[in-house]
């Protein structure tokens, strides 16, 4: 196959453009039998999702959408952001976390890492 990222839908359309009328289910079956299915959108390219359902106790919503404050270091928040490049596989991802003070929007500490672990998120907090 010229392009390994072609799925059964694209192959079906290409066949129809060449005048070959074929059912998409037949193309899918033949591609499965010959191991020609698209690998570009498999599980390894999906975005990281740490959700495991309700585990433990849910923290009380102390912020309650009140993001303004008149005291420094009263409300500090963090977030983890994923950046992907290249073929967007697991080996081509980096994660960024920053601690932000809502008093003036200043970034207090930040970290960049290749894996999202508890140590990755808490290291800037300890610094």
- Assess whether pLDDT exceeds 90 at residue 24: yes
> Mind listing the pLDDT tens digit for each residue in 45-92?
666 777 777 777 878 888 888 888 999 999 989 889 988 887 777 778
The encoded tokens of residue 78 equal 């963090």
Which residues, including other chains, have CB under 8 Å from residue 124's CB and lie 6 or more apart?
Answer: 78, 97, 98, 99, 108, 109, 110, 111
pTM metric for this prediction: 0.52
Q: Between vectors from CA 39 to CA 34 and to CA 44, what angle results, nearest 5°?
A: 140
């Amino acid at each position: 196959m010229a392009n390994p990222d072609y799925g059964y839908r694209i192959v079906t359309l290409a066949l129809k453009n060449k005048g070959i009328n074929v059912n998409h289910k037949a193309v899918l079956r033949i591609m499965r039998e010959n191991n020609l299915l698209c690998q570009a959108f498999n599980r390894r390219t999906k975005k990281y999702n740490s959700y495991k359902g309700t585990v433990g106790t849910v923290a009380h919503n102390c912020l309650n959408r009140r993001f303004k404050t008149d005291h420094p270091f009263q409300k500090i928040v963090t977030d983890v952001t994923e950046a992907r490049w290249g073929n967007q596989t697991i080996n081509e991802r980096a994660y960024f976390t920053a601690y932000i003070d809502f008093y003036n929007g200043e970034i207090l500490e930040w970290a960049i890492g290749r894996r999202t672990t508890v140590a990755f998120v808490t290291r800037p907090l300890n610094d």
